[in-house]
Structure formats: structure tokens, C-alpha cells
Amino acid sequence: MLDKKSSYKIVFIIAFLLCGAFASSQNNKQKQLETRRQELRREIQKINELRAENKSKQKSQISLIEDFNYKISVLSNLIKVTNQQANLLTRKINSNQKKITVLRGELMELKKDYAAMIVRSYKSKNKQSRIMFLLSSDDFKQAYKRLQYIKQYSDHQKQQGETIKAKTSELQATNRDLQDQKEDKKRLIADNKVIQKSLESERKQHEVLMKSIKKNLSLYASQIKQKQREANRIDREIDRIIKAAIARSNKKAGKKVTGSKSFALTAEEKVLASNFIANKGKLPWPVERGVVRLGYGTQRHPIDKSLTIKSNGVRIATQKGAKVRAVFNGEVSEILKMKNVNPIVMIRHGSYLTIYKNLSNVHVKKGDKVSTKQVIGEVFTNPSNGETILSFTLSKGMNTENPASWIYKM
């Protein structure tokens, strides 16, 4: 069994290791939050740049509300992340203040012991010299032990001095960290005040716009429904094309599967699909610069909460003349042209498809092999409101998936 002293020692070591792990975890969390904060700041910058580009154009009320909603969402997230950083810094500041108190106490005790040791050493030298202390030994063995004692005492003095020096350096370093953390916290609080003002301004403008819209809500509701019907019409046509492509792939592979929702793959296509999956979360954006105006999935409409929007992909606002890029290697499976609809490009990546809607110019043709980031066309810019919106969809066979899970930092 362990004695009491050994038990205390083990408890101390465990506590020390846990403190180290906690500090490391806090540092990692702080880095992650700072990275996220910078991403959100860049997102706001992109929103502001796109707004400035289209300032001279008269946007629709629906588009303006979408703009406000998105920026309010990003600003709110930025405030939340900044608050998390400030709270984490507060905990670190409190921890360092406690550490400084403990270090000061330890340093005081060390200096007190060291001073007492010096006094004892001085008194000992006055009573008898070290040589006399050795010569007065009864035998060689005793003289050797006395010599060892003198050496150990001298080493202990030296070690005590080094410990004081190390503790002093540690205290100074902790004090510096504490000051840096206080400055960082002050900076974050100042930043948050500026963001808060911007958020309040956006919310006020949003409220004013919503009041004017509510005066003629039925008109906007009618426009929203019409827009959704058009989106559903395009999605149905895309589904029909995918279904036919799946049937052809199954027939080619000799499979008689009716109503199948996935492609029968060749060996080459299996490798392509596997590589596509391996890059989940790392795929490049389909445009170089842009912000997500509308996310994936079924959601309440920002103007009329009684209406829902079904979005099979994401809508990305970008700048005029933006180039559309393939997000991965693949083959152009279809160039879709419908009445009153801008061209749509469909690219197949084995069992997966990426679909690029609302293009003005298309630089590829059906059957072309494309590579990651290859320019396949340009996004259409609406001449009446100056909006340049790319609709982007990603699906596995007939089943759509959230592009935000696949595209890097979407």
C-alpha cells in the first residue's frame, strides 16, 4: 500500500496534468473561436462589397429582406462568437490571477527560507571554519560524511536560489500573459460595441421595410408563390432528366431495376464517386466570391411566415460577371435549356451530381470531361436589379443533399 506522502504526490501530479490539459484545451478553443470570428468578419465584408456594387440598382423588396436577414444572421453570429471569446478570456484572466496569488505566496516562503539558510550559514562560519569542522572528525568515514553534508548544503542553497529565480520568471511571464489577456478582452468588447451598433441599424432598416411590405402583403405573397412554382417546375424537369440518366446507366449495366434512385457505376465511375466522397467538406465554391443568400431545405419565408420555401440547394449572391466553376472532376451530363429559364449545367461525378442554375454563358457541352475549378460558364446578372445569383444543387442520384456539408466553409 502507498504511504500518505506518496498518495499526496500522486494526487499532485494528476492535478498538475489535468490543469495542463485544461489550459491546452482553452488555448485550442480560443484559436478556433478567433478563426471563426475572422471568417464571419470576411463574410460581412463580402456582403458589404456586393451591396456597394449593386447600390445604384433598384432591388425588389423580397431581395432586400433576404439581404437584411442574411446580414443580421451573420452579425448575430459574430456577436455570439466574440462574447464566447470574451468569456473564455475572463476565465483565463481569473485563473491567472489565482496563479499569481499562489506564485507570490510560494516566492515569499522560498525567499524567507533562503534568508534563514544564509543566516545559519553565516553563523556556522563564525563558530568554526569548514576545515576545522572536517579536522575535528573522529575518523575518515566521519570526515567523508561531513564533507558530503557541506557539499549537499551548498548544493541545496544553490538549488533554492535557482528555484527562486525560476519562480520569479514564471510570475513575470504570468503577469505579462494577464496584461495581454486584459488588452485582448478590452479589444473584443470594443469590437462588439461597433458590431452591436451595426446590428441595431440593420434591424431598424429591416423593420421599416417590413412595415411597408405588410401594407400590401397579399401582392408579395402572390409573387413568392409564383417564384416557388417556377422553382418547382425547374426541379421537376431536373428530376426527370436524372431519372432518365439513371435508367440508361442501369440498362447499360444490364440491370433491370425500375424506379431506381441511384446510378449503376462502372469501375472508373466508382473510383470517381469514392474520390468525391473523400473530399466532402473540402470542395471549392462554385464561384470565387459569394455569400449564401438562401440555404438548403424547407424553411419559413422571411416576409410571410405562413408560406414555406422548399430549396433543393443554395442560392449564392456574387458579383457581376462571376465565373462558374466545377467543384470537382466529372463529366457534363446535360446542358438544360427551358422556356423563360437561363441555362443549367449538370455535371456527374460517379453516383453524384452537381447542378449549376441561372447561367448567362456556358463554356462546355454535353459529354465534356471537366476538372476541379474549371470555368464552365458565367452567372446571369439581372439587368433590372443588378443581382447576380447562382443556384447550386448537389445530389446523390435522385436525392438532394445539403451543399453546406460538402463545400469548404459554406
As a whole number, mean pLDDT of residues 389-400 equals: 96
198 and 107 belong to one structural domain? yes
Does the residue 56 lie in any domain? yes
According to DSSP H, which parts of 342-388 are helical? none
* Domain final residue pick, 214, 247, 270: 214
* Domain final residue pick, 214, 237, 270: 214
Does the residue 335 lie in any domain? yes
The cell for 194 is 461597433
* Domain final residue pick, 165, 184, 214: 214
27 and 174 belong to one structural domain? yes
CATH for 227: 2.70.70.10
108 and 192 belong to one structural domain? yes
157 and 273 belong to one structural domain? no
Q: Mean pLDDT lowest for which of 53-57, 69-73, 162-166, 267-271?
A: 53-57
Mean pLDDT computed over every residue of the chain: 84
How far is residue 266 from each of residues 269, 349, 402, measured CA to CA in Å?
5, 12, 26
388 DSSP 8-state letter: B
193 and 241 belong to one structural domain? no
26 and 86 belong to one structural domain? yes
68 and 131 belong to one structural domain? yes
pLDDT in tens, 177-190: 888 888 989 999 99
206 and 243 belong to one structural domain? no
Count of CB atoms situated within 10 Å of the CB of 325? 19
Q: Specify the amino acid at residue 47.
A: I
Q: Specify the amino acid at residue 332.
A: V
- Domain carrying residue 202: 4-214
Contact 343, 336 (CB under 8 A): yes
| Dihedral sign, Cα of residue 367, residue 368, residue 374, residue 376 | negative
265 and 200 belong to one structural domain? no
pLDDT at 126: 46
The cell for 155 is 548544493
Q: Specify the amino acid at residue 269.
A: E
Give Cβ neighbours of residue 56 (< 8 Å, ≥ 6 apart). Answer: 386
Give Cβ neighbours of residue 347 (< 8 Å, ≥ 6 apart). Answer: 326, 328, 330, 331, 332, 333, 353, 354, 355, 356, 370, 376
CATH for 69: 1.10.287
249 and 180 belong to one structural domain? no
Domain count, the chain: 2
259 and 383 belong to one structural domain? yes
Better-predicted residue by pLDDT, 293 or 157: 293
The cell for 283 is 470542395
257 and 359 belong to one structural domain? yes
Percent of the chain residues topping a pLDDT of 90: 45
Question: What is the model's pTM?
Answer: 0.69
For residue 95, which of 178, 9, 182, 8 has the smallest C-alpha distance? Answer: 178
